[in-house]
């Protein structure tokens, strides 16, 4: 996922660069190196959401996306743990 598509009519090149910077920062914080990692796509969606509501601070957008992914990870862990308990 990249925001650097120059043909995207939804946002300017500068806006794309801003979101891309936030995405790179968020991925770095979570140590996501693979561009095809599903969590990277989740990060991108949350960064886009933050941008759409008016956020233009790359650190804030990255932090918001990181927090969202961490919440999703915890939810997935608790779901898998509770379903394991049903088989004991």
pLDDT for 50 equals 97
pLDDT for 88 equals 45
Q: Tell me the average confidence (pLDDT) per consecutive run of 10 residues in the chain, 88 residues long.
A: 79 94 98 96 96 97 98 90 58
Cβ-count burial of 19 within 10 angstroms (0-12 exposed, 13-18 middle, 19+ buried)?
buried
Parse the chain into domains and list their residue ranges. 13-85
Looking at residue 88, the DSSP 8-state letter turns out to be: -
Structure tokens at 66: 């990181």
């Amino acid at each position: 996922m990249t925001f650097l598509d120059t043909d995207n009519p939804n946002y300017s090149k500068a806006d794309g660069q801003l979101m891309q910077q936030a995405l790179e920062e968020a991925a770095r914080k979570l140590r996501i190196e693979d561009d095809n990692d599903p969590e990277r796509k989740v990060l991108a969606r949350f960064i886009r959401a933050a941008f759409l509501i008016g956020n233009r601070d790359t650190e804030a957008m990255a932090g918001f996306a990181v927090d969202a992914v961490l919440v999703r990870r915890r939810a997935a862990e608790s779901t898998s743990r509770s379903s394991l308990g049903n088989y004991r």
